[in-house]
Chains A and B, each alone.
Chain A
Amino acid sequence: MPGRDPHSGAAVRIRKAIALVNSVADEAGDEEITPTEIAEAIRDCLELTDVDSVPNVRRYLGEALDAVSDGMPADFVAMTLYAALGALREGSPD
């Protein structure tokens, strides 16, 4: 489809992972998100082949996954995921 962002699938999955992390950070107080769920959401992103079509996206996602495993603060994980989203956006055609 002309003008369609080929990386939108990856962007949607990264946004889902960010939403989970933000939910932990912002404490809406209406759900329990475990690190396992966040790690799973990031692994879902890594499974997409289009993350390899843009430089650094896989690297940032890997760093975010490591940050979850290492118990880093939610904001740090969010920041790394935003970096992945930003790299994806920069690598997308206008």
Chain B
Amino acid sequence: MKSAEGRGRTLDEAVDAALIELNESRRNVDVRILTETAEETIVEVSVIDQEAAAGEPAAPSNGKAETARGLVEGLLKHMGVRALVSVRSGSDPITLDISGRDLGALIGWRGETLRALQAVTNVMVGKHLAEGERVIVDVERYRQRREHTVREIAMRAARQVKMTGDAITLDAMQPFERRAIHLALEGDPDVTSSSIGEEPERRVVVGPRKPAEG
């Protein structure tokens, strides 16, 4: 069983230090407190997930993904950010998950810093990627959570459109959020989605699908 010792001023810091050394996620480990004083906490963190313990990669063997992961890990290290970078399993395009504590600054205002980080990552990894191939960067599943939220908004809007027959204009959203809405509603035979306005105030309009469109 893989394990590591972590030290820090607090329990969280000590666990994070061990997780980074193990390159593991918090949900895959067992934590044992060795000593805990006002100045320092020492913990032993052991991997409990057997697959992870065997060192099986999170995603299918992908050199590009590993290169991207290494570059982002190095970038974060230079930024002085203590975080774990992993490749999301089975994701296409390549998605890097950054996890750790207090990473709000890495997400930034409306995800602006996260988006900037993704742009830098793609520039760094660009030469390893095929034409049109891109790397998605997510911090604490922020992007995934936003997509989930906007899909729920889309479903609610669709229900309302079906009841009233009136179109609804949603708030201004980022491209990945608008795409999530278009994808969520494309299979609905009763409603349709389109976008109006100019960036960054571009909004999705959900309206009833006309018979000719169906």
Contacts from A to B (Cβ < 8 Å): 15-16, 18-20, 22-23, 25-31, 33, 73, 75-76, 78-79, 82
Residues of B within 8 A of A25 (CB): 119, 122, 134
Residues 185-213 of chain B, each 1 if its beta carbon lies under 8 Å from chain A, else 0: 00000000011000110101000000000
Bound complex: CA of A66 vs CA of B194, how far in Å?
33
Known: A30-B194, A78-B119, A82-B116. A16 touches B179 (CB 8 A): no
B-chain residues with CB within 8 Å of residue A33 when the two chains form the complex: 199
Q: Which 7 A-B pairs have the closest CB atoms?
A: A19-B200, A28-B175, A19-B199, A26-B175, A75-B122, A30-B195, A78-B119
Chain B: interface size category? 20 to 34
B33 interfacial by beta-carbon distance below 8 Å: no
Q: Is B151 interfacial (CB-CB < 8 Å)? A: no
Contact assessment for A29 and B182 in the assembled complex, using a CB-CB cutoff below 8 Å: yes
Pair B179/A27 contact, Cβ less than 8 Å = yes
Contact of A79 with B120 in the complex, beta carbons under 8 Å: yes
- Inter-chain pairs besides A16-B199, A29-B182, A75-B134, 20 sampled, C-beta below 8 Å: A15-B200, A16-B200, A19-B202, A20-B199, A22-B115, A25-B119, A25-B134, A26-B175, A26-B176, A27-B179, A28-B178, A28-B202, A30-B179, A30-B204, A73-B126, A75-B118, A75-B119, A75-B122, A75-B123, A79-B123
Smallest Cβ-Cβ distance to B135: which chain A residue: A75
How far is it, in angstroms, between the C-alpha of A31 and the C-alpha of B119 when the chains are bound? 20
Which residues of A have CB within 8 Å of B116? Answer: 78-79, 82
CB contact list, B123-162 vs A, under 8 A: 123, 126, 134
Q: Could you tell me if A23 and B126 are in contact, using CB atoms closer than 8 angstroms?
A: no
State the main secondary structure of chain B at its contact with A.
Answer: helix
Neighbour of B179 across the interface among A15, A29, A73, A79, CB < 8 A: A29
Nearest-neighbour CB distance to chain A for B77, whole angstroms, equals 19
| Chain A to chain B contacts (Cβ below 8 Å), 25 pairs | A19-B202, A22-B119, A23-B199, A25-B122, A25-B134, A26-B175, A26-B176, A26-B179, A27-B179, A28-B202, A30-B178, A30-B194, A30-B202, A30-B204, A31-B195, A31-B202, A33-B199, A73-B122, A75-B120, A76-B123, A78-B116, A78-B119, A79-B116, A79-B119, A82-B120
1/0 per residue, CB under 8 A from A, across B103-129: the answer is: 000000000000110111011001000
Interchain CB contact under 8 A, B175 and A27: yes
Q: How far is the CB of A20 from chain B (nearest CB, A)?
A: 5
Question: With A and B bound together, what is the CA distance between A31 and B176 in angstroms?
Answer: 13
